[in-house]
Structure 1
Amino acid sequence: MAAIDCGTNSIRLLVADLPAPSAGPQAPLVDVTRRMEIVRLGQGVDRTGRLAPEAIERTRVALASYAAQIEKLGAERVRMCATSATRDAANAADFRAMVEQTLGVEPEVVTGDEEARLSFTGAVRGLPADAEQPYLVVDIGGGSTEFVVGTREGGVEAAVSMDIGCVRMTERHLHGDPPTLDEIAAAQADIVVAVDRALAVVPGREAATLVGLAGSVTTVVAVAQGLTEYDPARIHHARVSYEQVADVTADLLAKTREQRLAIPVMHPGRADVIGAGALVLRVIMERAGMPSVVASEHDILDGICYSIL
């Protein structure tokens, strides 16, 4: 089966096989391939309310490559979910028409609640035994961040999506290179309001383990670990402390874009927005009282695949 997640900043593909029945009900999928391209579909959406033609074209090019690989690998079922940027855009119909023509499948523009539930489902399978329940799962995307509380056996207890993604916060507040202290303070204030609102809906402060998803989290964890190259195997289920996250966040926000590009684990398409993504993670940990975060490389893509079943 094949799952595509098209967000505000990136478009990602997972082609996977089901685990063997003997592996048990919590066994993860068997990856055939995972791919990610930074296409910045949400470029300017927070300001204009529309998807930019050049952003749709960048997405089309990446999607055409994915479609070719899906056909080559012989995936029997395909589901594509589009998230924050396409929920917000007045011209989302242009995007949908492009996807149908390129992929041959209609994209599903999922709600923030559905996005949160898919992310939770993908993230909690295979978590290590020392990750105590209940979980607070946070998926820090480009346009929005999803907050989900639940358990492996009982599923989702509560979920909410807030418009505090790394692209949105960068475009709204962090204009300097590096951003000024006033810009950072404005972004932090915006994030605090949204996080507190989310934690009033989901009981995140009562959770035992914070699980962080998506590129902002995995990049912060990779930097905190001092990796010399991006290694998903070392990042997946790695645990880092609040103090490490705070140090990495301060360092990223103090650097210029060129300095961030020089960090060995930094994807070029993430260098301009990683400061905002790290700030979102740091504020979540502060407001929820979380001493550490467990990173997961399994997320909404895995949840989309499970949903196909």
Structure 2
Amino acid sequence: MTVRVAAVDCGTNSIRLLVADIDPATGALTDLDRRMRIVRLGQGVDRTGRLAPEALERTFAACREYAEVIARHGVPPERVRFVATSASRDAENRDEFTAGVLSILGVRPQVISGAQEAEYSFTGATRELTGSGGPQPPYLVVDIGGGSTEFVLGEREVTAARSVDIGCVRLTERHLVSGGVVADPPTPQQVAEVTADIDAALDQAAAAVPLDRARTLVGLAGSVTSISAIAQDLPGYDPAAIHHSRVGIEQVREITARLLAATHAERAAIPSLHEGRVDVIASGALILLRIMERTGAKEVVVSEHDILDGIGFAAAG
């Protein structure tokens, strides 16, 4: 017997919804609705420590849309799970965020720790890989978000995890913005500063997670899926083509160099790139590249199933 659930993943850059039927016995998950909105909730959080009013309103507008979808599919309230990650963990005024979500969706956001985020990401990304005869464990799952990146190692279960404060939005705002304008393109010095932050964070991750022990690198979230779309030269964003695609390190290196050298207009002209990722994709690509170089991974297996699916499994009980 299937259970109907609704899962919301509210991150630093985007807010996503999954409505699905899940068979708790087999773990089979059937999508009914899966959507994403770029709301940039983490706008300015790294600098101010607070969620900006305009960022909150963008997020609440998406929540109102999602509330209608959840009601239309008849999801019972006890099967709705709302998880908030890096930006809301960092913000002084997170209570304002919590109250707004509660009033719209009738569910209190679960502001999870980095360790919980890692577990959800791992479950969502690897559940259908395990025993499939395809990519082999141990898996190193890397979830490159807007404000943080999670590193999770495991086979059927998590054996080590660490969340570090590098993400495509955080690094872009920290190093690639001057006078409110994103560098177009960034200077070599700015790129060096981003790289130094990434490498320092990788040192932190490696202290908790043996990064070189995995047989398969699995990449999650918008930066990684966008790189897969660019590598395939897709005419538009196509989840079916992206899910479980593989991108070699040389392709990632070439795409990263291309994005770092591109102007805003040149990045915006990439047909598969969501407009909300145009300003931050170069930082996201550089994070992935440095991870691959550090771990020795020759390729990354790209997954469209991630923390959102893990939240859905948790909501099913």
TM exceeds 0.5?
A: yes
- Contact 1:196 1:287 survives alignment (8 Å): no
Match for 1:226: what amino acid?
Answer: D
Measure the CA separation in 1 of the matches of 2:259 and 2:304.
21
Which aligned pairs between 1:287-306 and structure 2 lie closer than 5 A?
Answer: 287-306=294-313
> What is the TM-score normalised by the length of structure 1?
0.96
Measure the CA separation in 2 of the matches of 1:227 and 1:300.
24
Which aligned pairs between 1:135-154 and structure 2 lie closer than 5 A?
Answer: 135-152=139-156
Q: How far did 1:129 drift?
A: 2.2
- Contact 1:51 1:91 survives alignment (8 Å): yes
Measure the CA separation in 2 of the matches of 1:169 and 1:299.
22
> CA 1:250–1:28 in 2, change beyond 3 Å: closer, same or farther?
farther
**Equivalent pairs, count:** 303
Match for 1:249: what amino acid?
Answer: T
Q: Secondary structure at the match of 1:205?
A: coil
Measure the CA separation in 2 of the matches of 1:30 and 1:259.
37
Equivalent residue for 2:13? 9
Which aligned pairs between 1:209-228 and structure 2 lie closer than 5 A?
Answer: 209-228=216-235
Q: Secondary structure at the match of 2:212?
A: helix
Report the aligned-residue RMSD.
Answer: 1.0
Q: How far did 1:158 drift?
A: 0.6
CA deviations over 1:119-169 (Å, ceiling 9, x no partner): 0000001125221110000000000000000012xx000111000010000
Equivalent residue for 1:230? 237
Measure the CA separation in 2 of the matches of 1:20 and 1:85.
31
Q: How far did 1:28 drift?
A: 3.9
Equivalent residue for 2:62? 62
- Contact 1:199 1:288 survives alignment (8 Å): no
CA deviations over 1:151-208 (Å, ceiling 9, x no partner): 12xx000111000010000001123111111100110011011012202211121100
Measure the CA separation in 1 of the matches of 2:204 and 2:28.
32
Measure the CA separation in 2 of the matches of 1:129 and 1:292.
17
Match for 1:273: what amino acid?
Answer: V
Match for 1:184: what amino acid?
Answer: V
Equivalent residue for 1:202? 209
Q: How far did 1:217 drift?
A: 0.2
Match for 2:244: what amino acid?
Answer: H
> What is the TM-score normalised by the length of structure 2?
0.94
Measure the CA separation in 1 of the matches of 2:246 and 2:40.
29
Measure the CA separation in 1 of the matches of 2:251 and 2:170.
24
- Contact 1:28 1:125 survives alignment (8 Å): no
Q: How far did 1:20 drift?
A: 8.4
Equivalent residue for 2:195? 188
Measure the CA separation in 2 of the matches of 1:92 and 1:241.
39
Q: How far did 1:272 drift?
A: 0.3
Consecutive unaligned residues in structure 1, runs of 5 or more: none
Measure the CA separation in 1 of the matches of 2:28 and 2:252.
27
Which aligned pairs between 1:1-309 and structure 2 lie closer than 5 A?
Answer: 1-19=5-23, 25=26, 27-76=27-76, 77-127=79-129, 128-152=132-156, 155-175=157-177, 176-308=183-315, 309=317
CA deviations over 1:43-88 (Å, ceiling 9, x no partner): 0000000000000000000110000110011112100000000000
Q: Secondary structure at the match of 1:101?
A: helix
Q: Secondary structure at the match of 1:204?
A: coil
Equivalent residue for 2:180? none
